Amino acid sequence: MTLRPPAAERVLIPGPAGAIETLVEAPAQVRGIALVCHPHPLFGGTAENKVAQTLAKTLRELGYAVLRPNFRGVGASEGGHDEGEGETEDMLAALEWARRRFGDLPVALAGFSFGAYVQTKVAARLAEANRPAQRMVLVGTAAGFVTGARHYETGAVPADTIVIHGDRDETVPLANVLAWAQPLELPVTLVPGADHFFHRKLHLLRRIIEAQWKH
């Protein structure tokens, strides 16, 4: 009989704009804290997104206590969409909550699409506070002009960041991500045949992350 991991705990974390609904999953032995951010909330993105779930499961199995918050206005999270600014503040508040619960442990940041963009901002804030993230995983990173007439000025990230993109992504063109990554000399792992949501390719995300994890 295979034992399934316990269901994610659903908590409400106090944030700058009100409650932040967050799914929390932790292994028996916690080696770090991981924060996973979902895609754009105005286009159906939630913490239940399949890519976000895959990131959470992979990081939990690597030994991290994983937080999967809903952005403002999603589920029971209060406030309204703030183009990544308020969302960054919320993620920092969630991390402080996690440190109080699990201890001052190394932090891993993972995000998908708009969530990846937010994580670049969270990483910058942590670095400014001299508490840099241990590792980052960015999937389908929002960069440049993307579907929906949105534009992202995606910031720099550490050289060991794991960046994964699908070659059939029609939401965030691969060219956008390469244009962002090139001046940073940042390798991009390409998944052949993968669209933006990695339909039927989620198992490859897990395989890539596990193969490239160094901690």
Question: What ranges do the domains of the chain cover?
Answer: 9-212
Residue 117 parent element (H or E): helix 114-128
Q: Which amino acid is at 179?
A: A
The arithmetic mean of pLDDT across residues 96-123, rounded, is: 98
The arithmetic mean of pLDDT across residues 108-127, rounded, is: 98
Please answer whether residues 194 and 172 qualify as being in contact, where contact means their C-beta atoms are separated by less than 8 angstroms: no
Residue 4 pLDDT: 57
Residue 147 pLDDT: 79
Q: Are strands 64-69 and 18-25 parallel, antiparallel or unpaired?
A: antiparallel
Q: Quick one: which of 52, 62, 161, 180 has its CA closest to 111?
A: 52
The arithmetic mean of pLDDT across residues 112-126, rounded, is: 98
Rounded Cα–Cα distance for residues 70 and 47 (Å): 5
Q: Quick one: which of 71, 70, 67 has its CA closest to 32?
A: 67
* CATH numeric code, 9-212: 3.40.50.1820
Q: Are strands 162-166 and 135-139 parallel, antiparallel or unpaired?
A: parallel
Residue 33 pLDDT: 98
Q: What phi-psi label fits residue 47: left (phi over 0), alpha (psi between -120 and 50 degrees) or beta? A: alpha
The arithmetic mean of pLDDT across residues 84-112, rounded, is: 98
Q: How far is CA 165 from CA 21, 64, 142, 168, in A?
A: 28, 23, 10, 9
Q: Which amino acid is at 98?
A: A
pLDDT tens per residue across span 64-86: 999 999 999 999 999 999 999 99
Residue 215 pLDDT: 63
Residue 3 pLDDT: 44
